[in-house]
A = this chain, B = another copy of it.
């Protein structure tokens, strides 16, 4: 079991004791500046409720059912403690954190099960079918779209959280084919460590990397921070096994097939509603001998966009090209500013750049490549030339090093903001290149409008996080002063307005977060009702009693 939840925050992100590091003076300066921008003075918000104060209702399972589950999973691996039920009650979205901090948890799983193998998973589904219980597959629990809440369907007395983290083994390594077969409850660090010991990597690094599992990546069609080069989890998946209430669905280990619709792509993104993914074979690669990220500063968003599009058009083998808009560029400069530091060469350089035309409106690009040193150098050289042609001032490798240091730590910022009464949420979409600039403008405008209406003020910013030959992912971040009286309603109203704008702009409601409960309302507009009806029909064939993760996706 690679994830030890007792070492993690029960009501927030990440490891206990870890947080963003802000010295006292920096913290004060930042609070003052944020407060100025949000139009109110920021101070310590009401403290979140203590863990001990959360009391789940009694477990509704009968001793007989618990005994059956113990027979399937092992005596110690059917858990009904308050801690277990609480840590499997919600994911890590903003509304989840708001609920946890206030102790307003609507639903708890009746028990948390830790099956050890495929047989135990099948046994759990059988018991759940016989006793009319819902089953919610649970990996890292890092869903930001409500994907793991233990909802129940009609006629179901409760839900079981099926924790996959004991399914954490590397089962096979096929060096000749460059594939590795894992059980899917393994988390990011353990998976990469198992591969690193063989000189290999998967190259999949979502921001949740440290606290998410392979199964979650597959179930939500995850992308990582280097996916421009390695591909998303859909590109890395060779074959998969999924236990459904009606039996096992599996695909075979071949590089390609033309035998009808591709079932990997039915399992990818299935979000637990069809079954429990238990095993996956993945394409792996030699660990890169070189990995470099460089920065460039553009005069404005349009120049930066043109450069990133040209890089994708030129087919450079970049692993990332991440362009912040002006607002995000400015906020990240603000976050790194240290009032105690007398001499700051970077600040001096930026001042010079501002006078030379890279001032307000400027946008930071981070671009990187991994692999053989010669090829990395070649790709970065070509990318720098393209950036230069679009007015991209080279920033060297310092911004990349800073980003790499912070890459998995950004979510900790959310705790600090919430502690000071500031909400932060992110939304993302993908658009064809011809609509990226408009889409960014329209969604940012909608975000500003929504923050004005529902929060009185707020900050909205965005970046291009992933690019493709034909389009890109836009990722938006919003900060607003929390309405402590009605924080969930406030969030829902902002979310609704922005999601409407995304869909109206022709974007997908999610490029890589998934659907869960939070995006389900927009799915029919994106897919059409007929496609959803066909998916429901396929689900009914695999899960006729509707046990699997009710209320999500469909």
Interface positions, chain A 220-266, Cβ under 8 Å from B, are 220-223, 232, 234, 238, 244, 246-266
- Taking CB atoms, residues of chain B closer than 8 Å to A550 are none
- Taking CB atoms, residues of chain B closer than 8 Å to A519 are 259
- Taking CB atoms, residues of chain B closer than 8 Å to A538 are 534-535, 537-538
Q: Is the CB of A542 within 8 A of B527?
A: no
Task: Write the nearest CB–CB distance from A282 to chain B, whole angstroms.
Answer: 9
- Taking CB atoms, residues of chain B closer than 8 Å to A283 are 469-470
- Taking CB atoms, residues of chain B closer than 8 Å to A523 are 259-260
Q: Is the CB of A255 within 8 A of B471?
A: yes
Q: How many copies of this chain sit in the oligomeric assembly?
A: 2
Q: Is the CB of B542 within 8 A of A220?
A: no
- A534 CA to B267 CA, complexed, in Å: 12
- Taking CB atoms, residues of chain B closer than 8 Å to A11 are none
Q: Is the CB of B430 within 8 A of A254?
A: yes
Interface positions, chain A 165-205, Cβ under 8 Å from B, are 174, 176-179
A534 and B254 in contact, given A176-B434, A269-B259 (Cβ under 8 angstroms) = no
**A152: CB under 8 A from chain B?**
no
**A57: CB under 8 A from chain B?**
no
- Taking CB atoms, residues of chain B closer than 8 Å to A268 are 261-262
Q: Is the CB of B430 within 8 A of A510?
A: no
Task: Write the nearest CB–CB distance from A541 to chain B, whole angstroms.
Answer: 4
Nearest neighbor of A433 in chain B, beta-carbon distance: B177
A535 and B232 in contact, given A178-B313, A283-B470, A530-B542 (Cβ under 8 angstroms) = no
Residues 267-289 of chain A, each 1 if its beta carbon lies under 8 Å from chain B, else 0: 11111000000000001010000
Task: Write the nearest CB–CB distance from A79 to chain B, whole angstroms.
Answer: 30
**A97: CB under 8 A from chain B?**
no
Task: Write the nearest CB–CB distance from A374 to chain B, whole angstroms.
Answer: 11
Of A222, A249, A251, A252, chain B has the most CB atoms within 10 Å of the CB of A252
List the one stretch of A84-92, A394-402, A483-491, A501-509 in contact with chain B: A501-509
Q: Is the CB of A220 within 8 A of B432?
A: no
What's the tally of chain A residues with a CB closer than 8 Å to chain B?
89
Contact of A265 among B261, B315, B536 (CB under 8 A): B261
Contact of A531 among B263, B512, B527 (CB under 8 A): B263
**A472: CB under 8 A from chain B?**
yes
A534 and B528 in contact, given A232-B256, A470-B238 (Cβ under 8 angstroms) = no
Contact of A434 among B177, B513, B528 (CB under 8 A): B177
Residues 355-381 of chain A, each 1 if its beta carbon lies under 8 Å from chain B, else 0: 000000000000000010000000000
Interface positions, chain A 381-415, Cβ under 8 Å from B, are none
Q: Is the CB of A530 within 8 A of B248?
A: yes
**A533: CB under 8 A from chain B?**
yes
- A336 CA to B27 CA, complexed, in Å: 80
**A468: CB under 8 A from chain B?**
yes
Interface positions, chain A 24-72, Cβ under 8 Å from B, are none
Task: Write the nearest CB–CB distance from A342 to chain B, whole angstroms.
Answer: 46
Task: Write the nearest CB–CB distance from A527 to chain B, whole angstroms.
Answer: 7
A269 and B265 in contact, given A178-B469, A469-B283 (Cβ under 8 angstroms) = no
Contact of A261 among B179, B244, B247, B269 (CB under 8 A): B269
Nearest neighbor of A509 in chain B, beta-carbon distance: B259
Task: Write the nearest CB–CB distance from A495 to chain B, whole angstroms.
Answer: 16
Task: Write the nearest CB–CB distance from A231 to chain B, whole angstroms.
Answer: 10
- A466 CA to B265 CA, complexed, in Å: 22
**A322: CB under 8 A from chain B?**
no
A-B contact pairs, 13 of them (CB 8 A): A174-B434, A176-B433, A177-B470, A232-B256, A254-B431, A254-B506, A255-B472, A258-B515, A260-B535, A261-B269, A266-B534, A534-B539, A538-B538
Which residues of A line the B interface, CB within 8 A? 174, 176-179, 220-223, 232, 234, 238, 244, 246-271, 283, 285, 309, 313, 315, 317, 371, 429-435, 466, 468-473, 506-515, 519, 523, 526-528, 530-531, 533-542, 553-554
What are the 6 A-B residue pairs with the smallest beta carbon separation, nearest first? Answer: A265-B265, A255-B471, A177-B432, A255-B468, A537-B541, A257-B508
